[in-house]
């Protein structure tokens, strides 16, 4: 060691004990500073969340306890709005339709998404796959209004391309949007066509993340085809499935735009869903309190089903 | 008719422009009087919106001290937004209100004869004698006037003259009685193979209800008891009306669930019940069409109708001065004086009689093709308004699904009316 370096080293070593003792903060203080740092970073986001998410939710719950009039004639009625809902056959019809719609769209969209993703993954090396993937994804880029109008036109009883095609094949198709039994399935089909592409991308990304070694190991063990799918791929897709399930479940329960545009809740009330029921009471009948109560019910439904999804699928992938 | 601008008018405009320019130079910028801006929110869309935009553009071009800021939107949310705006203290200065909605919207409106600025109607010289009587009379609620009528709109019978000719019918003598109507239906069906009749525009639930109401009101029925507390339509008159509506399909003259707007424009249906707003579409379709009164199906001829009215929503004193209120009512008067344009371009029947009788309107294609007969129905008192009740939207919503299901041949008329009655009574009781 050179003389210069040695001199510096000696100086540091000589002073270290005393300085170290004075400079090191206590463990409690260090922890407190750390917590403050965390709070400091989270504060802006927490403020926005409280202001624009939690605040409106609580405000909506509050409105549901009143006979609410925007002109100021506000009257506290407690749970009266909820009791009116319970006694309203129209509400239960809307709830049943909403559950039916979710039962049709959630499995349908997820199955379609997984199926498309697996197909594309199987042929991932081929050039045409990119174009097929883009084509399947394209509907997701459309606005709900466009989707509703397009499918309303396609299913038009007089001029719709779908009915004209079916009739030209010699079939006698139902008038889809004006048949009680077919109205909701028709909207569910249009919704699946619209949203499946995005779920496909989610699952496709999840499949790409699976290490190649796992496939090699599975092949060594003799797992192919259905066995490979059921024992290896699907368990590994659980996180993506959870995300897609929550996303699709929420879409199913708050469905509104395509119903309003395609059938307006008809024929009769065969396709009136909770969100449309809420819209009618809030913006057509000017009964904001009851509309807010419906909103609370929808919120509770989505929250409980989301929690059930987490419990059922867990937070992480198997193994 | 004189075309272009006369020499005298040109000189007057030139001198006026020069004087305006001189006046501008003679005063400092800060002393220039800013125009009063009136916010005018409507619920019009497509053709109606275009027509009103034309009218407002004319107003703004003709006035310097007052300008209209026009905002137009969908009718479904209009009243909720109006309430919210009034509640928040930023209501538009001029709005639109259907006559049928006055009973639940009045709380958001200014009573025109007893505003804080005084009797606004007197200030603008608005007199009831200058309006279609039935329309004017309907603008009062609880003894106070909130509405200044703009138009009548209603349904009538559109028919295809070519199909009439093919069916061996006189294209200039459309049916006026039920017997004539049924004879025409059978002739069209059997000799042209087309749909004979479409009773309800595009067959939306509220349109089906209106078709049934026309048949029901024609027998003297009313939806509610006079005190507005009970449903009053589940009787032999209501049943007869719905039976007749259903029979149209059973006799092969109509197919439920189809869009009469499109079919008529495509020349696929002989007769269509539709509103006056169909006129621009009919004119643009290329179909050789005629128009006539609603046939007298039962005891008396009746048609569904409503009116758009100009209103002044409630204003906060700190935001809107009394002078602005006066300007608003004068602007409403001006719109009425120019509502012949609303008729010519929007297809509506002006409620303001001088506009209804203006030469410009009477000589227009719109008047000749359809508006004259619409106007006659209005002046003869054939127009029946929707039920006027604070819960009218919910009453309609209670009736529509059941009536639609009967119309779609999936529920018996008797059961449909029983269901509708039960639900209406539940709405009225809540």
Cβ atoms of B294 and B155 closer than 8 Å: yes
Residue A3 in this model has a pLDDT that exceeds 60: no
Q: Using alpha carbons, select from B83, B341, B320, B304 the residue that is nearest to residue B210.
A: B304
Q: Cα-flanking dihedrals φ and ψ of residue A200, to 5°? A: -55, -45
pLDDT tier for residue A216 given thresholds of 50, 70 and 90: confident
Q: What are the tens digits of pLDDT across the range A274-318?
A: 999 999 998 888 888 999 999 999 999 999 988 888 887 776 554
- Which residues of B have a CB under 8 Å from any CB of A? 76-77, 79-80, 83-84, 86-88, 104, 107-108, 203-205, 256-259, 262-263, 268, 391, 393-394, 397, 401-402, 404-405, 408, 410, 423, 430
Q: B251 in helix, strand or coil?
A: coil
Q: Residue B1 has what pLDDT?
A: 38
Q: Cα-flanking dihedrals φ and ψ of residue A187, to 5°? A: -65, -40
Partner-chain contact A286 B83, CB within 8 Å:
yes
Determine the distance in angstroms separating the CA of A298 from the nearest CA of chain B, rounded to an integer.
21
Q: What are the tens digits of pLDDT across the range B89-140?
A: 889 999 999 999 998 899 999 999 999 999 999 999 999 999 998 889 888 9
Partner-chain contact A159 B258, CB within 8 Å:
no
The neighbouring-strand residues paired with B94 are B40
Share of chain B above pLDDT 90, in %: 74
Q: Residue B87 has what pLDDT?
A: 85
Q: Residue B294 has what pLDDT?
A: 97
Q: Residue A283 has what pLDDT?
A: 84
Share of chain A above pLDDT 70, in %: 90
Task: Identify the top-confidence range among A66-75, A103-112, B23-32.
Answer: A103-112
Q: Residue B23 has what pLDDT?
A: 46
Partner-chain contact A71 B204, CB within 8 Å:
no
What is the overall mean pLDDT for chain A? 86
Q: Residue A246 is encoded by which pair of tokens?
A: 């929550």
DSSP secondary structure letters along A112-135: HHHHHHHHHHHTTTSTHHHHHHHH
Residue A228 in this model has a pLDDT that exceeds 70: yes
Determine the distance in angstroms separating the CA of B126 from the nearest CA of chain A, rounded to an integer.
29
Cβ atoms of A83 and A170 closer than 8 Å: no
Determine the distance in angstroms separating the CA of B361 from the nearest CA of chain A, rounded to an integer.
35
Mutate to test the interface with B, among A92, A158, A178 (most CBs of B within 10 A): A158
Q: Residue B64 is encoded by which pair of tokens?
A: 């310097």
Span of A66-75, A115-124, A308-317, B265-274 with lowest mean pLDDT: A308-317
Share of chain B above pLDDT 70, in %: 92
Q: Residue A5 has what pLDDT?
A: 52
- Which residues of A have a CB under 8 Å from any CB of B? 69-72, 84, 89-90, 156-159, 175, 178, 180, 264, 266-269, 280, 282-286
The C-alpha atoms of residue B56 and residue B70 are separated, in whole angstroms, by 7
Per-residue DSSP letter, A314: -
CA distances from A292 to A67, A273, A295, B429 (A): 10, 15, 5, 21
Determine the distance in angstroms separating the CA of B209 from the nearest CA of chain A, rounded to an integer.
11
Partner-chain contact B408 A267, CB within 8 Å:
yes
How far is residue B196 CA from its own chain's centroid? Answer: 26
Which residues touch A315 (CB under 8 Å, ≥6 apart)? A242
Q: Which residues in chain A are closer than 8 Å to B256, comparing Cβ atoms?
A: 178
Q: Residue A224 has what pLDDT?
A: 72
CB nearest B405 (choices: A90, A267, A286):
A267
């Amino acid at each position: 060691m050179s003389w210069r370096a040695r001199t510096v080293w000696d100086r540091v070593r000589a002073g270290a004990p005393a300085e170290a003792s004075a400079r090191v903060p206590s463990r409690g203080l260090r922890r407190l500073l750390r917590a403050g740092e965390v709070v400091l970073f989270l504060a802006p986001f927490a403020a926005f969340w409280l202001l624009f998410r939690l605040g409106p939710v609580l405000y909506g719950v509050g409105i549901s306890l009143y006979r609410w009039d925007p002109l100021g004639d506000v009257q506290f009625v407690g749970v009266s709005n909820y009791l009116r809902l319970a006694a309203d056959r129209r509400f239960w019809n809307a709830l049943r339709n909403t559950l039916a719609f979710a039962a049709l769209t959630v499995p349908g969209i997820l199955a379609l998404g997984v199926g498309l993703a697996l197909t594309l993954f199987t042929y991932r090396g081929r050039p045409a796959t990119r174009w097929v993937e883009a084509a399947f994804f394209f509907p997701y880029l459309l606005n709900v209004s466009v989707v509703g109008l397009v499918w309303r036109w396609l299913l038009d009883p007089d001029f719709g391309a779908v009915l004209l095609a079916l009739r030209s094949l010699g079939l006698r198709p139902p008038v889809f949007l004006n048949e009680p039994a077919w109205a909701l399935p028709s909207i569910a089909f249009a919704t699946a066509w619209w949203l499946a592409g995005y779920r496909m991308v989610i699952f496709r990304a999840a499949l790409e993340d699976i290490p190649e070694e796992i496939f090699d190991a599975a092949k060594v063990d003799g797992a192919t085809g259905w066995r490979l799918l059921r024992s290896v791929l699907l368990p590994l897709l659980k996180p993506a499935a959870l995300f897609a399930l929550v996303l699709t479940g929420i879409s199913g329960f708050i469905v509104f735009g395509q119903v309003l545009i395609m059938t307006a809740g008809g024929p009769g009330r065969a396709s009136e869903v909770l969100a449309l029921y809420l819209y009618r009471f809030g913006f057509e009948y000017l009964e904001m309190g009851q509309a807010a109560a419906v909103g609370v019910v929808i919120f509770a439904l989505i929250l409980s089903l989301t929690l059930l999804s987490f419990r059922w699928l867990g937070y992480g992938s198997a193994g | 008719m004189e075309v272009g601008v006369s020499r005298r008018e040109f000189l007057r405009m030139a001198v006026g422009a020069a004087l305006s320019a001189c006046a501008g130079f003679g005063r400092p910028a800060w002393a220039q009087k800013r125009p009063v801006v009136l916010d005018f929110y409507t619920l019009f869309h497509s053709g109606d919106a275009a027509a009103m935009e034309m009218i407002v553009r004319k107003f703004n071009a003709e006035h310097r001290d007052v300008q209209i800021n026009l905002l137009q939107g969908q009718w479904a949310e209009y009243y909720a937004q109006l309430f919210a705006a009034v509640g928040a203290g930023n209501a538009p200065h001029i709005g639109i209100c259907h006559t049928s909605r006055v009973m639940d919207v009045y709380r958001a409106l200014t009573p025109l004869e007893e505003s804080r600025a005084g009797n606004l109607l007197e200030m603008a010289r608005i007199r009831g004698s200058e309006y279609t009587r039935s329309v004017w009379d309907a603008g009062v609620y609880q003894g106070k006037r909130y509405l200044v009528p703009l138009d009548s709109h209603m349904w009538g019978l559109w028919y295809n003259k070519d199909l009439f000719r093919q069916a061996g019918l006189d294209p200039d003598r459309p049916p006026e009685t039920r017997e004539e109507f049924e004879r025409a239906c059978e002739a069209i069906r059997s000799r042209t193979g087309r749909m004979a009749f479409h009773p309800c525009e595009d067959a939306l639930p509220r349109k089906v209800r209106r078709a049934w109401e026309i048949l029901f009101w024609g027998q003297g029925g009313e939806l509610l008891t006079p005190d507005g507390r009970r449903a009053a339509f589940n009787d032999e008159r209501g049943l007869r009306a719905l039976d007749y509506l259903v029979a149209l399909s059973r006799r092969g003259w109509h197919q439920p669930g189809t869009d009469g707007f499109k079919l008529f424009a495509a020349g696929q249906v002989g007769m269509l019940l539709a509103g006056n707003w169909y006129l621009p579409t009919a004119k643009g379709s290329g179909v050789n069409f005629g128009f006539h009164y609603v046939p007298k199906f039962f005891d008396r001829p009746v048609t569904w109708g409503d009116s758009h009215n100009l209103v002044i929503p409630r204003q906060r004193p700190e935001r809107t001065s009394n002078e602005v209120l006066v300007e608003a009512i004068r602007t409403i008067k001006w719109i009425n004086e120019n509502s012949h344009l609303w008729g010519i371009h929007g297809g509506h029947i002006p409620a303001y009689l001088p506009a209804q009788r203006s030469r410009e309107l009477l000589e227009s294609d719109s008047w000749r093709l359809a508006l004259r007969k619409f106007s006659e129905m209005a002046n003869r008192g054939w127009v029946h308004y929707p039920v006027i009740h604070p819960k009218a939207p919910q009453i309609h919503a209670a009736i529509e699904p059941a009536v639609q299901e009967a119309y779609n041949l999936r529920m018996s008329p008797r059961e449909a009316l029983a269901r509708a009655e039960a639900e209406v009574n539940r709405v009225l009781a809540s």
